[in-house]
Structure 1
Amino acid sequence: MNSHNTIAIDELDKPYFVWFEDNWRHDDILHAHERGQLVYVESGFQYITVDGKIYLLPQNHAAWIPPGAIHKTNSHSEKIKLMIMFAEVGEHSSFHRELHVFSVPPVLKEMIRYSERWSKKLADDLDEFVFLKALFNELPHFVEHSLKLHISLPKDKRLSQPIEYLHNHYREDIKIEDLSEASLLSLRSLERIFKKETGMTLSKYQQILRIIKSLELLTSGDLTISEIAYAVGYKSVQAFTRSFQSVMHFRPTDFIKTIL
């Protein structure tokens, strides 16, 4: 298991630090860094929790995690190639103080790959400094549209069973009555608490769950779009495509192009 506990990131005496690893295993306990970090998934997929929300990073996507953000890994595909780059960022940069999850354009992908030559290098290196300063300076321009795709983890313990039920049965047609029985809450209380804790209705939460799962399956490349549509609970490819487009603002076929 690889973890960046073996190198004390916040004690390094350099503004940038590059860490690339095959079959990387990010820390699965909540932690934070003084530096911001760019997490790039070259192959496979990765789920991460940042400030109480779960995000999916599909292949060829990245997350900018701002300094001080509490985060951890939830799970990942069996084979994953992750590239992680840490950077000190100025107080004045509002972009670098926010979380961004985005599809990585070709130029940035090549810059990240080029940076591999400095992986785990502890000593100062002027070339590394100049190159990475340019990369992080240009990062806001590379993030054209951040994926706002996440699900919030409810803090209210009364939702533990309903959420578990949803995650296990998201493929099925779930009614609020089913969750009411699981939670021992009245329909009205459940709907109110669910919306307050997750920021969305039950049907919207289920839709987001289905789309997140479909992104994971699309990333693996093992199934056709039609097979994925049925695997995540849609009755037709058209229904899946409509749902996908309403959440992502592009079609499943467009997403496949971004990961090739």
Structure 2
Amino acid sequence: MNANNSIEVDELHKPYFVWFEENWIHDDVLHQHQKGQLVYVESGFQYITIEEKIYLLPQNHAVWIPPNTIHKTNSHSEKINLMIMFAEVDRKNSFYHEVNVFSVPPVLKEMIKYVEKWSKLLSKDADETIFLRALFNELPHFVEHSLKLHICLPKDKRLTKVIEHLHHDYHKEIRIEDLGETALLSTRTLERIFKKETGLTLSKYQQMLRIIKSLELLSAGNLTISETAYEVGYKSVQAYTRSFQAVMQFRPTDFVKNIK
């Protein structure tokens, strides 16, 4: 991952490396690291593509990216502050082989803020090593209730225009018949291929897009929950709240409280 200046993380001879940037600038290029990577969004919101799945990191959320995992970052936020921690981890622990997106609890948030003092330190530091070893040792416990908030990008080229249509017009009523015509497929064939490629039905995929977009809007802080609901295509706040709770397992009001 590159920012305003380039640091080759894998060439550093230290088990941990901390990198904090205000107003992070992204290169949007697929890459990987030998070390695992914890990305925390202090402010703004962040999209990360990890092995052909798009994840959203709202403010006060983090993602664990396993070692050697191909990924890239991109953001629609005008300004984003990121804290990134690279770590050599216990490869026998299955937790470190999985992607996890999660809301950062207060204790972990304070620990992350504390490690900012070691940002971009290239030399080994005993105190840094001890502290970060403790942080990563506890990380599996911090993410026990992590979200699987992502959408898959299909590989089948027949779905390319369908995905473009869904991503552009997610807030509108979408007819499966129209999507079938776009893909030159029968509705039954389209539904079968789409479910196989993404793991979701077309309606569930649109729901996920709406909720993810709403998280982005709520994180920006410019719209109320009611305004956000209508912006992403819901006809009532009640319908939006039910959909949000079905996906997130908590209410929009809980999310807004968490990001403040």
Decide: shared fold, TM above 0.5: yes
Report the residue type matching 1:222 in the other structure.
N
Tell me by how many angstroms 1:144 deviates. Answer: 3.0
The one-letter code of the counterpart of 2:127 is D
Distance apart, 1:75 and its partner CA: 2.7
- Asked if the contact 1:42–1:83 (Cα under 8 Å) also holds between the matched residues in 2, the reply is yes
**What is the one-letter code of the residue matched to 2:146?**
S
Question: 1 CA distance for matches of 2:184 and 2:105?
Answer: 48
The Cα of 1:2 is off from its aligned counterpart by 5.0
CA distance in 1, matches of 2:253, 2:101: 20
Once residues 166 and 72 of structure 2 are traced to their aligned partners in structure 1, the CA distance between those partners, rounded to angstroms, is: 22
Q: Please, which moves more after superposition, 178-187 or 12-21?
A: 178-187
Contact kept? 1:4, 1:27, Cα under 8 Å: no
Contact kept? 1:2, 1:24, Cα under 8 Å: no
Provide the residue aligned with 1:71 in structure 2.
71
Distance 1:5 1:204 in 2: 40
1:137 corresponds to 2:141: no
Where 1:76 maps in the other structure, the secondary structure is coil
Q: Deviations over 1:230-250 (max 9, x none)?
A: 000000000000000011010
- Cα drift, residue 184 of structure 1: 1.4
Provide the rounded CA distance (Å) in 1 between the counterparts of 2:74 and 2:51.
Answer: 13
Provide the C-alpha distance between the structure 2 equivalents of 1:76 and 1:5, rounded to a whole number of angstroms. 21
1:150 — aligned with what? 150
Tell me, what secondary structure is at the counterpart of 2:223? Answer: coil
Report the counterpart of residue 99 of structure 1 in structure 2: 99
User: In the alignment, which residue of structure 2 is the partner of 1:53?
Assistant: 53
RMSD of equivalent CA atoms: 1.4
Gap runs ≥5 in structure 1:
none
How many residue pairs were aligned?
260
| One-letter amino acid matched to 1:236 | S
- Superposition TM-score, scaled by structure 1 size: 0.97
Listed one character per residue, the Cα deviations across residues 166-219 of structure 1 (whole Å, up to 9, x for unaligned) are 111111111111111211112122111111111110000000000000000111
**Residue of structure 2 in register with 1:248 after alignment:** 248
C-alpha distance in 1, partners of 2:19/2:153? 29
Structure 1 ranges of 4+ moved more than 4 A: none
* Distance in 2, Cα, partners of 1:61 & 1:203: 26
Q: Could you tell me which amino acid in structure 2 is paired with residue 233 of structure 1?
A: G
Q: Which AA in structure 2 matches 1:117? A: K
For 1:71-220, what aligned pairs fall within 5 Å after superposition?
Answer: 71-220=71-220
Q: Which amino acid aligns with 1:33?
A: H
Q: Deviations over 1:50-79 (max 9, x none)?
A: 111000000000000000111001333011
**Counterpart of 1:97 in structure 2: which amino acid?**
H
Q: Which residue of 2 aligns with 1:223?
A: 223
**Same amino acid, percent of matched pairs:** 75
Does the 8 A contact of 2:4 with 2:24 survive in 1?
no
